[in-house]
């Protein structure tokens, strides 16, 4: 008898789904690991460690009292996180030292102006700020730097040129309105004054890409505008050396037109 031909099995077109599911699982595990590496909180790390152990069937024993016994892989992973955190802490420590040194240098070099109230130096999480009273830089209602202040700003530029961090120059006015052909409002006046200081810094050798000029008019007062003294303090130029975090935040913030 003739042998009966073997029936051909139909092709399974869904076999790709198995490989795809494996790929998605591995991709999920990868992002979970990346999240764990970015976390610097010990509590979050422990939660992540337990979750990973359950997911891959290598759950470590949890003793009474909540003590976690890590596997060799988890111990190695934790050591990587600890080393990363140590590097970040050391980097932050060095940055704090740089900012503190800059703060002290400006206070020392500008001591005479600080003493008579024409300048103030302050340090914050945003960076180191040198507030310069507008009366020592400009004539009333003008934005050209006076000849007598050029050397002072040049001395400031020399100190700032030794750093490589971004510098933000802000112009501020009091709340008294100004309106003339050159400056229709305090926005134009404050912007022009900030730009004048930036141009002088560039002439003194500071790289232009480090600098940013901003005019804020009377919107960020440091004193009440109800007195002559308060208005005099509000008329100022603020020169801030930004920390890397502040620079990134400023770069990602939406731009605002003056």
Cα separation, 2 vs 35, in Å, equals: 66
What would the DSSP string read from start to end of 184-208?
SSHHHHHHHHHHHHHHHHHHTT--G
Q: Which domains does the chain have, with CATH numbers?
A: 16-91 (no CATH), 110-252 (3.30.1330.60)
Q: Say if residues 168 and 249 touch (Cβ distance below 8 Å).
A: no
Confidence bin at 28 (pLDDT 50/70/90): confident
- State pTM to two decimals: 0.66
- Interval 121-154: pLDDT, tens: 999 989 999 999 999 999 999 999 999 999 999 9
Q: Say if residues 236 and 175 touch (Cβ distance below 8 Å).
A: no
Name residue 77's beta-bridge partners.
Answer: none
Tokens coding 85? 């955190």
Confidence bin at 54 (pLDDT 50/70/90): low
- Interval 173-203: pLDDT, tens: 999 999 888 999 999 999 999 999 999 999 9
Name the pairing type of β-strands 211-215 and 127-133: unpaired
């Amino acid at each position: 008898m003739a042998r009966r031909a073997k029936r051909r099995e139909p092709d399974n077109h869904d076999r790709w789904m198995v490989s795809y599911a494996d790929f998605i699982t591995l991709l999920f595990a990868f992002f979970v690991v990346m999240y764990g590496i970015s976390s610097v909180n010990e509590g979050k790390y422990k939660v992540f460690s337990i979750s990973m152990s359950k997911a891959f069937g290598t759950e470590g024993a949890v003793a009474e009292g909540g003590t976690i016994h890590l596997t060799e892989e988890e111990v190695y992973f934790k050591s990587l996180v600890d080393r990363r955190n140590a590097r970040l802490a050391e980097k932050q420590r060095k940055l704090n030292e740089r900012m503190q040194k800059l703060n002290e240098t400006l206070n020392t070099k500008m001591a005479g102006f600080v003493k008579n109230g024409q300048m103030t130096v302050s340090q914050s999480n945003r960076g180191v700020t040198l507030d310069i009273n507008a009366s020592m830089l400009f004539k009333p209602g003008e934005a050209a730097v006076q000849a007598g202040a050029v050397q002072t700003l040049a001395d400031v530029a020399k100190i700032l040129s030794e750093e490589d961090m971004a510098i933000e120059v802000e112009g501020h006015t009091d709340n008294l309105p100004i309106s003339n052909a050159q400056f229709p409002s305090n926005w134009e006046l404050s912007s022009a004054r900030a730009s004048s200081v930036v141009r002088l810094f560039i002439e003194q050798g500071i790289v232009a890409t480090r600098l940013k000029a901003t005019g804020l008019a009377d919107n960020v007062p440091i004193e009440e505008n109800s007195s002559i003294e308060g208005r005099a303090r509000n008329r100022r130029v603020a020169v801030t050396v930004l920390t890397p975090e502040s620079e990134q935040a400023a770069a990602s913030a939406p731009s605002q037109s003056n």
